[in-house]
Chains A and B, each alone.
Chain A
Amino acid sequence: MIETPTSRLGGLIVGLRQRGWVEGVNFRLELRSTFGPSDKLKAAIQELLELKPDVILTGSTIETAAVLAATKTIPIVFATANDPVGNGFVESLAHPGGNVTGFTSSTAEMGGKWLQLVREAVPDVTRVGVLFNPATTPRAGRFFLDSIEQEAATSGVSVAPAPVGAPTEIDEAVSRFSEPPKAAMIALVDSFLVVNRQAIVAAAAKYRVPTIYPFHYFMDAGGLMSYGPTLEVRSADYVDLILRGTKAGDLPVQSPRKYELLINRTVARTLGLTIPFTLLARADEIRE
C-alpha cells in the first residue's frame, strides 16, 4: 500500500480537523504499514486490533479483506476498494451491513473505456495486453476483462491478458507486447501494480508499449496516460460519522464522482504517437 501518504493521509487529518477531531486532543491516530511480505500485513493488523480502535481505515481491497477477516465488530472504512460486493465485503452498495463501508474506485465498465481511450491514442493497435496480478486484482482480473473483451470484439482488437505474480515477471510480461503486431497495454486497478509502478512504467518505456493506467500515480512515474476516478479524500466523512455513533453498515458505499484523464505528450512523442483532438479535448491534464 504505497501511495502518496501526504495527500491521502493528510487529507484525512485535515478533514477530521474540519469536523472537530484534533489528533492528540480528542482522537488518537495509529498508523501501520503493510508494505512488505504478507506476514507483515498480518502482524500490522494484529497490532491494530490489540489497540481496540474505534475505527480502522484501510487503504485498499487487500487490507480490507485481511482486517475484515480478523474482526467483525470494529468498524472498518476502506478508502478505495474494487467491487466490494463481489469481494463479499458488503451486501449491497446502498446498505453494506456488517461492520464495513467505504469508497469504490472503479466500476467494471471502466475496462471498455480504457480500451477505447488507448485505441484513440494508438489508432493502429491490433492487440491489447491486460496487465494485472491475479492475486491482488478483483476476481483475478475478470472484473474488468469482461468489458475489455466486449469492447475489443466491437473494435476488432485481440485481448491478451498478461498476469504477473511477482515484480520480476513484469519485464518479461511487458516485453511480449514490444513485437508487432502493434500492441498496447492496459494496467488494471491492482495494488500490486501500483506498488511496482516504477518497474512497469520503465518496462513500458523500455519496450515502447503504449500503456494506459488506472491512477495518476503511474503518470508521476512517467506513464503515457491514465484514466480513472479522481481519488477524492472523503474517508474523513465516514470516520467522523462512525466516531459519532453511526453504524458502518448503515453507511452506503460511495462510488467515484469524477474521472480524470491524464496524458503525457512527451512520452507520446517518444513512442511516436500523435494524440488526436478528441483525446486532447477530453484530457484533464496534458503533461509535457
Chain B
Amino acid sequence: MNETIDQGHLRTPPGRLFRKYLYSIVALAFAALAINTGFDVWFSYREQKQLLASTQREQAASAAIQIGQFIGQIENQIRWLSRLPPELSTNEDERLNAIRLLRLSPAIAEIAELDAQGREQVRVSRRVADRIGSKIDLSASPAFRGANESRTYYGPVYFFGDTEPFMTIAARGVGRGPNVIVAEVNLRFIWDLVAGIRVGNTGKAYVVDRMGLLIAHPDLWPALRRSDLSRHADVRAALDGVGPPSGGLVKEDLSGQRVLSTYATVPSLGWVVFVELPLTEAYAPIYASIGRSTFLLVVLLACAVLVSLFLSRRMTVPIQILTQGARRIGSGDLGLRLAIKTGDELEALGDQFNRMAAHLRESYATLERKVIERTSELEKARDHALAEHDAAERARNIAVQANETKSRFLAVVSHELRTPLNGVMGVLQLLDDGSLGEAQRRHLATAAASSETLIALVDAILEYARLEASAETLETRDFRLGQLIEAAADLMRPQAFDKGLTFDVASDATVNTSVHGDPVRLNRILLNLIGNAIKFTPRGGIGLKAVAEQNDDHVLLRITIRDTGIGIPPDMHERIFEDFVQADDSIARRFGGTGLGLAIARRLARLMHGELTVESTPGAGSTFTLQVPLGRAASGIAQGTVLPPSRRLSVLLVDDDPVNCEVGEAILNRLGHRPTIARNGASAIEFARDQVFDVILMDLHMPDMDGVEAASQIGKLGLPRMPRIIAVTADVSGSARERLAGSGIAKVVSKPILINALREAIEDDPWDAPAAPQLAADGLIDRHFLDDQRELLGPAQIEKLRHLLGETSARLIDDVAKAAAASDHAQLARSAHQLGSAASALGLVRLFDRCRDVELAAPAMSSPEYQNAARELAELQQASMRALDDLLQPAEQGSVS
C-alpha cells in the first residue's frame, strides 16, 4: 500500500508534458503565422492603397484628358472655321459653314464670326434667328479681346437661364485681318462625359472650374445647384496648382460619404477633375484581402493546432510509455517490454530501457539463483549442525545418564549400607538404658562412635550423590546460631586438644541470635571445615571467628576458620573444592579422607546461597571463610535435648524391616507418643481405615507397595481426619519429592531415624490447632528458652525469678485492670509493656505476645475492649504462672536422676 501511495506522490500529472509541447508548438506556429500575416496584410494594405491611389490618379488624368479633348475638339473646329480664307466664301457660305459646325458639335449653341475690327458678320444660333451682316461692334467683348491676345480664348463659365452652364470659346484666324470666331458652348454636354467616366462601381468624377464652381457632376442635384466648392481645402489646393497627395486623400464627399479622392487639372482650361471612390469600395479588396488572410490564418492555426496535437502526441506518448515502464519496473514488473516505434532517439531510449530491464531481470534471476544456492548450503550446514547438536545431546544424555547411574549407584549402595548401620546405631542407642557399667558404657560409646563415623562416611557419599543429582533440598527451621557454632566447636575441641593444638573460638555477640535456615547442613559445613583444619594442622592451633551481620531482611553469617597447617599451593586453591581432590595425593595417603568434604561444603554453601572461599600459603596455614545469608527466626526457639511432646500423638509406623520397626517404635515411645506398627503398605491402609492416627511414618521402600502408593491410597480413603504422612527414606531425589507431594506426603525424615529429627517432624504440625486448655498447660511457655535460662542461671536463680514474676505480674495485672476500668489507654499500654517484659524473662511467650498486642492496640481500643483485654491478660497470667510452676517442679525432681 505504501509503495502505491509513494508512487502516487511521485507520479507526474498526466498530460503536463503533452500540454507543454502543445502550447509551445501552437504558440510558435501562431506567432509565426500571425507575424507573417500581419506583415503581409500591412504591406498588402499599403501597396493596395498606393495602387488604388495611382489608379485613381490615372482615372483623374484620363478624365481630365477626355474633358480637355472635348473642349479641344470644339476649339479645333472653331479654329478650323476661323482659318477659312475670307475670300473663299461669302457671308452666306460663312453661315453654311457655321451651320455645318453646329451639326457637327451639338454642344455649340451659337457661333458668331467677327471681322478683324470686332464687327459681327454672321451669327448662327440654334435658339434665335440667324443674323447676317449686322456689323454690330463687339470689339470690346472679352471674347474678341481674349482671342486677339492669345490663340484661344476660354471664357468663364456662365449660366444661361439661370440653369444652363455655358462657356465662351473664341479663336482668331491667321493672316492679315483675321476673323475671330466666337462660340457659345453648352457645358451641359460635359455632364454626359463626366457621367460616363467610370470610377470603380460607385465612384464619381466631377469637374470644377477655375473659380471652384462645380460644372459637372454625375449626380444631377449638385451640378444643378451651381455649387461653389472653392471653400473646400482640396479644391482650393487643386486650384492653387498643388498636386494631389500620392496616396490619395481621404475625405467626406458632398453627400457625407467617406471617399478616397484625387484630382487632375484639365490642361489649358485650368479646370480640375476630381475622382472620388467611396472607401467602402476602395478598401473592399484590402478588407477582402485582410479577411482572406485572417481566414487563412485561422485555417493555418487550426492546422497548426492539429499538427501540434499530432507532434505533441508523438513526442509525449513514448515518454509516457517510458514513464509507465519505469514505474512498472520500479514496482518490480521486469517482464515489461516497451513498444516505442518512432524511429528516433526515443525509440533508441526505449530499446535501452528494454535492455536495462532485461539486464535487471537477468541480475534478479542470478541473484535468486545465488540466494537459492546459499539457502541450500545454509540448510545443509544447519542440518549438519543439528546432527552434530543431536550427537552432542546424545553424548550429553549418555554422560548425564552415566552420572545419574553413578549417583543412583552411590545412593543405592549408601542406602543398602545404611540399613544395617541403622540397625546397629539403633541398637547401640537402646543399649544405653542407664544400667550399664563404666567399661560397657565406654565400649558402647566406641561402637557408637565407629558407627557414627561409618554413617558419616556413608552420609557424605550419599549427600554428595544427592548434590550431584541436584536432589538435595534445604530443610529449614528456626535455630539458635550461637548454640550451633558452640556445639560444633565443643564437638571438635577434644580432637584438637588430642593433637596438642589450641582451639580458639571467638564468636561475636551478634552471633547469639535465632535465625532461620538449615542448621544440619550448616553444622556439617562447620564440622567439615574444623575437621579439615585439625586434620591438616600438625602443630600450632586453630582459630574460629564468627560474625553475624544484621541486615534488613536477613542475617549474613561470616565464619572464618584459620589454621597453622601445611597450607595449600595457590594452583590448588580452587581444585580442592572439586570432587575427590586433595592438595596432594601424598596428603591423601598421609591424612586419609574421601576428598569429598570441601566439595560437599562448597556445594552446600552455594545451596544456601552462600560462598566458601580459601586463602592459603603453603607451610603457613590456611584460612577458610564461609559466608551464608540466613533468614530471621520467627521466634526465639532453641534446640535442646529430648523433651516430652507438647501433645501425645497416635503414630502409625510403616516399615518392612523389623529392625527399623523396633527402633522406630522405641524412639516414638521415648518421645512420649503411642506407636502402632504396620509391616507393609496394605496393612498400613487397613490401620489407617480402622483407627485414627495423628501421624503416619511411611517407609518408601517396601516390597509389596511402596510408601508413595500407600500414602496415595490412604489419601483416597476419605478419612474424616486425615493423618499427616511423613516419609522415612534414605533416597530423597527431586523426582521422589514430586511424587511425595502428589501423594499428600508433606514431610520427609531421612534414615537413620534420629530422635530429634523425628520429634521435630512429628510435632511440626501446621494443621494441628491445639485446644485452649492444652495451650494453657503446654503452649504457654517456651520451654527451650526456659531450659536455656535454667541452664544459664541455675535452678535457684530461676526459682527466685519465678517468685518475683508471680508478684510483679499480679501487681501489673491489677494495674492493667485499673487502667482498663479508667479507660486510660496510655497506662494500659505501659502496664502491658511492663507485664510483657517481665513475662519474656522466663519464656512466658503467650503472655508476652498478648501483652505486646494489647500494648500496640491500646490507643485504638474501646472501653469494652479494654475490659476484655484486661480480663484476658489476667487469665493468661494465671494460666502461664501455673504452667511455669508445673514445668519447674518436675524438672527439679527429674534433675535428680
Q: Measuring CB to CB, which residues of chain A are less than 8 angstroms from any residue of chain B?
A: 92-95, 107, 109-110, 112-113, 115-116, 147, 151, 237, 241, 246, 250-255, 257-259, 277-278, 281-282, 284
Contact = CB atoms under 8 A, between A and B. Distances in A.
Contacts of A277: 96
Given A259-B126, A281-B103, A253 B92 contact: no
Nearest to A113: B129
Contacts of B221: 241, 246, 251
A216 B62 CA distance: 38
Given A241-B221, A278-B92, A113 B128 contact: yes
A146 to B, nearest CB: 13
Contact of A257 (B96, B128, B130, B186): B186
B13 interface: no
A237 B220 contact: yes
A286 to B, nearest CB: 12
Given A241-B221, A251-B224, A252-B224, 12 more contacts: A93-B161, A94-B159, A112-B128, A113-B128, A241-B220, A246-B221, A254-B224, A259-B126, A278-B92, A281-B99, A282-B99, A284-B103
Nearest to B97: A281
A113 B109 CA distance: 14
Given A93-B161, A278-B96, A282-B103, A116 B130 contact: yes
B129 A112 contact: yes
B16 interface: no
A94 B130 contact: no
A115 B129 CA distance: 8
Nearest to A244: B221
Given A109-B127, A281-B103, A253 B163 contact: yes
B126 A94 contact: no
Given A110-B127, A246-B221, A252 B163 contact: yes
Nearest to B130: A116
A259 B127 contact: yes
Q: What 7 A-B pairs come out closest when comparing CB atoms?
A: A94-B162, A116-B129, A112-B129, A252-B163, A109-B128, A93-B162, A259-B126
19 contacts: A93-B161, A93-B163, A94-B163, A107-B127, A107-B161, A109-B127, A109-B129, A110-B127, A112-B128, A147-B128, A255-B161, A257-B164, A278-B95, A278-B96, A281-B96, A281-B103, A282-B99, A282-B102, A282-B103
A257 B127 contact: no
A93 B164 CA distance: 10
A113 B159 contact: no
Given A116-B129, A259-B126, A252 B96 contact: no
B191 to A, nearest CB: 9
Contacts of A257: 164, 186, 188-189
Interface in B97-116: 99-100, 102-103, 106
B818 interface: no
Contacts of A115: 129
A258 B92 CA distance: 24
Interface in B670-709: none
Interface of B: 92, 95-96, 99-100, 102-103, 106, 125-130, 159-164, 186, 188-189, 220-221, 224-226
Contacts of B106: 258
Contacts of A251: 221, 224
B158 to A, nearest CB: 13
Contact of A113 (B99, B103, B127): B127
A44 B190 CA distance: 40
A113 to B, nearest CB: 5
Contacts of A107: 127, 161
Contacts of A241: 220-221
Contacts of A255: 160-161, 163-164
Nearest to B159: A94
Contacts of B102: 282
Contacts of B103: 281-282, 284
A163 to B, nearest CB: 23
Residue among A151, A252, A277 having the largest count of chain B Cβ atoms under 10 Å: A252
A93 B189 CA distance: 19
Contacts of B125: 113
Contacts of B188: 257
A6 B103 CA distance: 28
B663 to A, nearest CB: 165
Contacts of B99: 278, 281-282
B738 to A, nearest CB: 136
A115 B128 CA distance: 10
A254 B127 contact: no
B217 to A, nearest CB: 12
Nearest to B219: A241
Given A116-B130, A252-B224, A281 B162 contact: no
Contacts of B129: 109, 112-113, 115-116, 151
B202 to A, nearest CB: 13
Contacts of B189: 257
Contacts of B126: 259
A121 to B, nearest CB: 14
A241 B100 CA distance: 38
Nearest to B131: A154
A109 B125 CA distance: 11
A22 to B, nearest CB: 20
A95 B163 CA distance: 9
Contacts of B224: 251-252, 254
A102 B305 CA distance: 67
Nearest to B226: A94
Find the residue from B102, B106, B159, B162 having the highest chain A CB count within 10 A.
B162
A251 B221 CA distance: 7
A54 B95 CA distance: 49
Nearest to A237: B220
Contacts of B226: 94
B121 to A, nearest CB: 16
Nearest to B223: A252
Contact of B162 (A109, A151, A252, A258): A252
Contacts of A254: 163-164, 224
B307 to A, nearest CB: 50
Contacts of B100: 281
A111 B164 CA distance: 21
Contacts of A113: 125, 127-129
A194 B794 CA distance: 204
A108 B849 CA distance: 182
A112 B164 CA distance: 21
Nearest to B134: A154
A277 B226 CA distance: 40
A259 B108 CA distance: 12
A94 B161 CA distance: 8
Interface centre among B102, B126, B186, B226 (most CB of A within 10 A): B126
Contacts of A116: 129-130
Contacts of B161: 93, 107, 255
B622 to A, nearest CB: 156
B187 to A, nearest CB: 10
Nearest to A277: B96
Contacts of B225: 250, 252
Contacts of A95: 162
A144 to B, nearest CB: 12
A246 B220 CA distance: 12
Nearest to A284: B103
A20 to B, nearest CB: 13
A108 B799 CA distance: 204
Nearest to A94: B162
A259 B128 CA distance: 11
A166 to B, nearest CB: 32
A93 B221 CA distance: 14
A234 B463 CA distance: 166
A76 B397 CA distance: 153
Nearest to A93: B162
A250 B92 CA distance: 45
A259 to B, nearest CB: 5
A109 B126 CA distance: 10
